[in-house]
Chains A and B, each alone.
Chain A
Amino acid sequence: MDEKKKTETGFGSDALKDPRRIVFITKKTSAKVKGDVGRQAMSYPKLILREAIVLEILTILMVVVALFWDAPLEQLANPLLTPNPAKAPWYFLGLQELLHYFPPIVAGVLIPGLVIVALIVIPYFHVNVEGAPLWANSSLRRLGMFSVVVVVLLIFFGIYQAWTIFIPTLVMAGVAGTTYFLPGQGGRFGTYLRARPLSWWIMTWFIIVAIILTEIGTHFRGPGWSWVWPWR
């Protein structure tokens, strides 16, 4: 009987007897209620064929490269013979490069942990769904906060002498700040940059730093993780 009471909201629960149409429109589901999806195509064959072609071209490219490039194979593993430097797989070299600068707990646990957590929780912070530009309202308060965060980060990198992170961070922050102070300048590129939201700036900064660190770890590090020039 309790269940029945719960559904008694003034409408009968039998849809055949009392057909009703209820629509809740909220701000957050706005995308779903857009009526027009535009022109459509059948997946079969239009999508399937394209995917098949992609698969074939991909395989062709991979096979051709695999015919002429040999996967590296070094000597039998020897725990007594440590190569100098011992390097992780390339996709972890950015991390290994961080270890060079920061204490292991920071570089090995905190930073990668934070990155993963950040990636997971991004969609659940409904900040700026619309993708409003960073300086949309030219608010000084926002500039202040932005500057404080950047300065704190720079100090942090500076303390640990992580110049390979410090410099790209400084450049990125500089570019972002410049777009605030120079509205309407810089041509199409300037306009493009000014239209970017904060999330774009953070992600781009992350990617650039990650690529730089990985590249340095791969090619610019020699014995004892010292700096070497790959062309020497």
Chain B
Amino acid sequence: MTSWENTIERLRRTPVWQSLFRRGPARTNRTRSVAVFGNIFLHLLPVKVRDASLRVRATYYLGSITFFLFVILTVTGVLLMLYYHPAVPEAYQDMKDLRFVVSSGVFLRNLHRLAAQAMVVFVFWHMFHVFYRGGYKPPRQFNWVVGVGLLLLTLFLSYTGYLLPWDQLAFWAITVGTNIISYVPILGQPMRFLLLGGHGIGENALLRFYVLHIVILPLFAIILIAVHFWRVQKDGGITLREEHGRKEKD
């Protein structure tokens, strides 16, 4: 045993460590199982997975990447909230401050924007991949529907975030988008009014989009993500290529 491992071992015996992690070192399959199902976050994952599903080509980690992008977005988003006022024209001033004054502010915003665009790409990619693997077929019907819900949530999250910088790009992109809503027969105008908090895009719309973007939509997304992960495990793991491949006739 090297001295490094000794140190780790000694650390593990301290009362603080033991109060944090009830289990010992994960050296047996039992303790490894406990490491997963004894952890509130990891227990959404299965304890055991098929060897085949660990192959890169099984998933290309598309789902994981989508989720991790959500994590990056949450972290950067919370930090950005520290500098942001959902008001006109303070919102735009804050963008300028982020760029010119806040330490690493421009980096935070870049990362948030980039991850948001990437998440839209990956959520689509993930969906198409799952579709081609036949992942929507029984018994995973419900999880597919949850996935469609997450797709829509991702789009709305990205879209509501689009308005927040309150620049020309934001304003007119949202104008174009919300105009589409008003084409819905009968309900169109009321829906647009509800979304914007008025007949035009103004401070009310900004506030609504802000609340949707930072509270309501992420809350739904987190719930659906948890259900999505949980159901992957409960529905028999990820869909492997062999599962729904064309079977040769007997």
Indicate whether A and B are direct neighbours in the complex (CB within 8 Å): yes
Q: Which residues of chain B come closer than 8 Å to A96, judged between CB atoms?
A: 176, 180
* B134: A residues at CB distance < 8 A: 131
Stretch in A71-79, A142-150, A159-167, A173-181 with 4+ CB within 8 Å of B: A71-79
**B246–A40 touching, CB < 8 Å:** no
Is the CB–CB distance between A28 and B42 below 8 Å?
no
How far apart are B56's CB and chain A's nearest CB, in angstroms? 9
Question: Measured between alpha carbons, how far is A62 from B157 in the docked complex, in Å?
Answer: 19
Question: Is there a chain B Cβ closer than 8 Å to A59's Cβ?
Answer: yes
Contact (Cβ within 8 A) B89 A71: no
A38 to B167, CA, bound (A): 55
By DSSP majority rule, is chain B's interface helix, strand, loop, or mixed? helix
- Name the interface residues of B51-91: CB closer than 8 Å to any CB of A: 51-52, 54, 61, 64-65, 68-69, 71-72, 88-89
User: Once the chains are docked, how many angstroms separate the CA of A124 from the CA of B148?
Assistant: 14
Give chain A's interface secondary structure class. helix
Contact across chains for B176 and A66 when beta carbons are under 8 A apart? no
Structural contact, B165 and A109, CB atoms closer than 8 A: no
Distance between A70 CB and nearest chain B CB, rounded to angstroms: 6
Asked whether A42 and B172 contact (CB < 8 A) given A31-B243, A130-B247, the answer is: no
Chain A interface size band reads 35 or more
A54 vs B247: C-alpha distance when bound (angstroms): 33
**Are B50 and A38 within 8 A (Cβ)?**
yes
Given known contacts A58-B69, A88-B176, A89-B177, A44 and B42 CB-to-CB distance under 8 angstroms:
yes
A203 x B132 contact (CB < 8 A):
yes
Cβ proximity bits A85-118 to B, threshold 8 Å, 1 near / 0 not: 0111111100110010000110011000000100
Which of B7-15, B114-122, B212-220 interfaces with chain A?
Answer: B114-122
CB distance from B162 to the nearest CB of A (A): 5
Q: Which residue of B lies closest to A37 (CB)?
A: B50
Contact B171 A78 (CB under 8 A): yes
Judge if B208 is at the interface, Cβ distance under 8 Å.
Answer: no
A42 to B29, CA, bound (A): 7
Whether B222 is near chain A, meaning CB under 8 Å from some CB there, is no
Stretch at the interface among A2-10, A17-25, A45-53: A45-53
A126 to B136, CA, bound (A): 10
A27 to chain B, nearest CB (A): 10
Q: Which B residues have a C-beta under 8 Å from some C-beta of A?
A: 26, 29, 32-33, 35-36, 42, 45-52, 54, 61, 64-65, 68-69, 71-72, 88-89, 92, 95-96, 99, 106-107, 109-115, 117-118, 120, 128, 131-132, 134, 136-142, 144-145, 148, 151-152, 155, 158-159, 162, 165-173, 175-177, 180-181, 183-185, 188, 200-201, 236, 243-247
